[in-house]
Structure 1
Amino acid sequence: MIVAGIGSKRGVSTEDVLAAVDAALARADLGRGALGAIATPAVKGGEPGIAAAAAALRLPLVLVPQTQLEAAAERAQTRSERVIALLRVPSAAETAALAAAGREARLLGPRLALGPVTCALATGGEA
């Protein structure tokens, strides 16, 4: 199963989230059917654009608690000083995807940034 981890600025639109997911999938040569879940840090749970994107894709939205983000931090591939200041992890998208995909999860590549959204794909575990 592949999990798409999402990081974003506040007020992100559904269209922005879907565009980032599609771009990350295209980079990995995958289609939407490969996805099993959308994951985001729990603090982003109130973002309607992220929730609406998960609903549009007919996927569960996994809200990853801070402790799980931090546990996945050492496996992240990219580093954002802004995200470190806000969430104390190097990448919201990467750590959310890794945490939701399971302990043995691995990233399919570094996060992709597209406008106000970042998306990372992880595989290798359960959501």
Structure 2
Amino acid sequence: MIVAGIGCRKGVSLQEVLAAVESALEPYDLSPDSLSGLATAKLKAGEQAIIEAGNKLRLPVFLVDGPALQLVSLRGLTRSAASLSAAGTPSVSETAALAAAGQKSRLLGPRSVHGSVTCAIAVNGEEP
């Protein structure tokens, strides 16, 4: 399982989310077709661009609740004061990806930043 975790400011566009996902996948020679899903914090459920990106890519969007984000927060690679303040986690994109990818998940690297959107890629087990 490969999951792209998404964090963003309010009101981002579909194009920004899609560009962030593609940008985050590029260093690992992965394409959106290799993804099993997108993930974000449950508090981002109202961000239509994330839901639309899942629809466009034909992927489920996992909405991860606060306790699940907290369980994996020590495995994240980035510490953002803004994310800690807004979501109570060091990085929404990293922790959402880790939580959605499963118990044995790991990040391929730190989140990437694309304008107002962050994206992190997590894999479960030995993938890829």
Question: Could you say which TM-score interval applies, normalised by the shorter chain?
Answer: over 0.9
Q: Which TM-score applies when normalising by structure 2?
A: 0.96
Matches within 5 A, 1:1-127: 1-124=1-124
Q: CA deviation at 1:51?
A: 0.4
Q: Deviations over 1:56-96 (max 9, x none)?
A: 00000100001000111000000100101111111000000
Q: Which runs of 5+ in 1 are unaligned?
A: none
Q: CA deviation at 1:46?
A: 0.8
Q: Deviations over 1:40-63 (max 9, x none)?
A: 000001110110011000000100
Q: Which amino acid aligns with 1:19?
A: A
Q: Which TM-score applies when normalising by structure 1?
A: 0.96
Percentage identity across aligned positions? 50
CA RMSD, Structure 1 to Structure 2 (Å): 0.8
Q: Which runs of 5+ in 2 are unaligned?
A: none
Partner Cα distance (1:50, 1:32) in 2: 14
